[in-house]
Structure formats: structure tokens, C-alpha cells
Amino acid sequence: MKYTQLGRTGLKVSRLVLGTMNFGPQTDEADSHAIMDAALETGINFFDTANVYGWGENKGRTESIIGNWFAKGGERRDKVVLATKMYGNMAPEGDAWPNHDKLSALNIRRAVDASLKRLQTDYIDVYQFHHVDRSTPFEEIWQAIDVLVQQGKILYAGSSNFPGYKIAQANEIAARRGGTIGLVSEQCLYNLAERRAEMEVIPAAQEYGLGVIPWSPLHGGLLGGVIKKEVQGGRRASGRAADTLADPTSRAQIQSYEDLLEKHGIEPGEAALAWLLTRPGVTGPIVGPRTAEQLASAVRAVELELSDDLLTSLDEIFPGPGPSPEAFAW
């Protein structure tokens, strides 16, 4: 496994991030624990979760599964850089109550204590804002975060799904307050097929020293060899991938992508991850393996070297927006 600094911090993290969103809803606790053990064995030390994972009536279940794994000992907690997120309402479905969501100082205090309890730990390495809260000023947010840092409950703060201007606003206000490090990471939708983050989000993250953590690196399975699997009678596309393949132009684009990688003898999913690892500012993509082979495939991507010719061909199939601001200025 290869490692890098998380943005401008001194924190060393693996170039792959273990995503845990499926722990509970799709992967039972025993299998989830096995995946986390296997991730550590391969050198993955950066784990990502969120308080709402588990979803519906089971919100918080994923954090509890991770907490039970930490409780097994074996230096599991010490070896992991733990990131979780808060924003969503954690009250039972249909029982939402004011101040049980978003980024008020009250909810930040409530949410972090609940996450610490479920995770069975006394600190969170990277505490992330899952979405923008347009109602709460950053002065209040940073005051709450400063208290948590002083209490030793969190070490760093990060964002998720933030536009570029909010990254800038958050860190400018943090700088004016003094003594607040501000955001150190941004978790955003970014992959070969979805490159809008290159317009504003990634330039802002680079300018302010945030590590970029792409989610959905295979774009809902679309970049994982979906047509080949379909032809071979394997798992059929569903959700966003199925909707995309229903469009003839998009299907032809994905077919060109798979044909190109077959020519080079590279698995599509591994190429998609390896491509992200070549992108400026990217710390590491979030991978959510359901099996040991999927985890092994993701790890192989870290060592995969994509030739300049192949990178050029990928850009031709999935053209990005171009440099910012020229891409939208003229």
C-alpha cells in the first residue's frame, strides 16, 4: 500500500479509503469485520463512515458495527485513521425534531457524542460535515469544532459535497478566527464519467490545502466492466448505471471504455481507480468492497501504472471540462 499526507496536515493515510456504507444494509456484521481485518492486512488505514449509515430505522448501525470491531482489540483503533460524518437527522423516521440535524453548535455537540458512543472510541480523527448548512454561519460551526478539538474528541474537520465557494468561505472564516486549522479534506463525487468537480471544487481544495477524497469512483458500477459482466451473465446493472446504459450514446461511450481497457489487458474497475490516483489533489478514492476479491482488485489499482497514451485515450472517451476558469469563462 502507498500512503500520502491528508491535504496540508501531517496525517499519513492510505491511497485507498475503505468505505463502510454497505456495512449493515448489505453486509452483515461478521462479513463487515472480515473486510475491515482484510483492509488492515493490505495496509489500508483510512476508514470512512457516517452517522446516518444503516439508513431508515437502522441509522447508526454502521458506526456500531465498526465500534464492535474496534472493541475486539488487537490495536485496531490505533491503526485506523477514522473519519465519520454528521448532518442528517438521527431521530427515528417520522419523529424528526428541531435541532436534530444540520450544523448548529447544538447538533454538532449532540452528534459527536452519539458517534463516539457507537464507535466505542474516545476520539474521531476526521470529523466531516456531510452537506452544506445554509442556515448556520461558519463562525458558529468553527466555535463548536474548536471546543471538540480542545476536548480531544476530534482532531481535524473535513467537508463533503461542498461547492468550491463554500470551501473558500469556510477556510477564510477559520483563518480570520485564528487558531482554527479549518477544513483539511473534501469528500466529493468524482470519477472518469463525472468530472464536474474539476471546475471549482478541486481547484478550491488545492488552493486551501484540502485532500480530495472521491466517492463513487466507479460511478455506481458503470466503470467496473458493467457491459462485460452483463454479456457474461453476471450481475446486471441497476440504479444509475442501468439508467445510463439505457441511453444509446452513453452505452456506446462505456463500450468504448471497456474495449480500450481490454486492448490494454486492464480491468475497468482497476483502471478507474488508478486514473483517480493520477489526478492532482486526490488523496485516495473511497472503495466499498463486498468481497475479498473486490478488495484485492482495488489494492492492485494502487500499483497500476497507466501509460500516457492510455491516459490520453481515456480523456478522449471521457473529456473533462478543461482548466478552470477557462472551461466556463470562454
Catalytic residues: 53
Q: Which of 120, 30, 105 is nearest to 67 (CA)?
A: 120
2, 273 contact by CB (below 8 A): no
85, 128 contact by CB (below 8 A): yes
Distance between CA 256 and CA 243 in Å, rounded?
18
Phi-psi label, residue 209: left if phi above 0, alpha if psi -120 to 50, beta otherwise? left
- Packing angle, helices 292-303 and 29-42, rounded to 10: 20
Side-chain-facing half-sphere of 156: CA atoms under 13 Å: 21
44, 288 contact by CB (below 8 A): no
